[in-house]
Amino acid sequence: MAKINFGGVEEEVVTRQEFPIEKAREVLKDETIAVLGYGVQGPGQALNLKDNGFNVIVGQRKNSTTWDKAVKDGWVPGETLFEIEEAAQKGTIIQFLLSDAGQIAIWPTVKKALNPGDALYFSHGFGITYKERTGIIPPENVDVILVAPKGSGTSLRRMFLEGRGLNSSFAVFQDATEKAKDRVIALGIGVGSGYLFPTDFRKEVYSDLTGERGTLMGAIQGIFAAQYETLRENGHSPSEAFNETVEELTQSLMPLVAENGMDWMYANCSTTAQRGALDWWKKFRDATKPVFENLYEEVAAGREAQRSIDSNSQPDYRPKLEAELKELRESEMWKAGAEVRKLRPEK
């Protein structure tokens, strides 16, 4: 592990320098990695592992669109693509990448397929942390490990193909074989992570649920909507409101933040913009901090997990979700966005 000082706090992390892909291959050379679920993380992790030279099979429900997607991606029925139960039986490492609600439904099947010494792998601390709500309690004779890529499975795959890497956290919940740590780090490198930082299952799920409800997805849409509406109510055109709220951020300013940090992005804007941003950011922080505190409390109390289990376990959750996504897609702001995207010169 490399000791790195993150803004004055020392952390021990794993980089590809200390744990190169060759070492990961050596650690996992006798393993069959069964990736269960082929939604968003499943394809990203399974394809990256396969392209990195690991022995991978996929488990997915037959007669589903994701089974067809797996076939299209090159997984061969009966050879590298199986029903979930069969794949779980064949695997020595079971990557449990069904949706969190799907994991609850399929847990009895997976539990039966676990052999002593297998590793049960998650990409979320959800199932284990909220075990009273999920019923996922693994037997004591298997390793229970986690690699949680900090981003979409779509980005995990894209960044891998570009020779880049998405950072992931890792954790060991149960070490039955005394090989759990090597196994989890090797898998983290194998799925295409950038650097790996240690966590535990509880911290992973608390931070992940907070992040996606907060700045990564929920809060950002909320702030976009508030600013867009304010501009529109004051007579600005959709084009002006969308460019000033979203397009400039994603196309011009966030790439600068990604490259060299917020101060550098500020430094590449006018002194007028700098003055205003420096004056206003703390007001936005103070206005939103109570919402974030409330969000964290809801997560820590398990109420966010329960809400997600309740809604995602409904038989009609897909059409209901689609209706909510449609509401976003058909809002004026995102309809304007679709037109703005079409007008990008590179298109």
Ligand X SMILES: CC(C)(O)[C@@H](O)C(=O)O
Which amino acid, one-letter code, is at 78?
G
Residue whose CB is less far from Mg ion, 60 or 199: 199
- Residue 212 binds ligand X (CB under 6 A): yes
Q: From ligand NAD, ligand X, Mg ion, none, which one binds at residue 216 (CB under 5 to 8 Å depending on kind)?
A: ligand X
Q: Are 2 and 25 in contact (CB under 8 A)?
A: no
Q: Count other C-beta atoms under 10 Å from residue 110's C-beta.
A: 24
In angstroms, the CA 175 to CA 7 distance is 32
Residue whose CB is less far from ligand NAD, 148 or 299: 148
Which amino acid, one-letter code, is at 284?
F
The arrangement of strands across the sheet holding 143-149 comes to: 81-82, 56-59, 33-36, 93-96, 119-122, 143-149, 166-174, 193-198
Q: How far is the CB of 54 from Mg ion (least distance, A)?
A: 23
| Site for Mg ion, rule CB under 5 A | 208, 212
Candidate segments 111-119, 208-216, 247-255, 302-310, binder of ligand X by CB under 6 A: 208-216
Which single residue brings its beta carbon nearest to ligand NAD? 39
Phi and psi angles of residue 119, each rounded to the nearest 5 degrees, phi first: -115, 130
Q: From ligand NAD, ligand X, Mg ion, none, which one binds at residue 169 (CB under 5 to 8 Å depending on kind)?
A: none
Residue 124 annotated as catalytic = yes
- Residue 304 binds ligand X (CB under 6 A): no
Phi and psi angles of residue 314, each rounded to the nearest 5 degrees, phi first: -70, 140
Q: How far is the CB of 72 from ligand NAD (least distance, A)?
A: 14
- Residue 220 binds ligand X (CB under 6 A): no
DSSP-derived secondary structure letter, 60: -
Was 26 annotated as part of a binding site?
no
Catalytic residue among 50, 124, 157, 232: 124
Q: What length is written for the chain?
A: 347
Was 298 annotated as part of a binding site?
no
Was 204 annotated as part of a binding site?
no
Nearest CA among 144, 91, 152 for reference residue 122? 144
Residue numbers in the known binding site are: 208, 212, 244, 248, 270
Catalytically active residues are: 124
Residue numbers in the known binding site for substrate are: 270
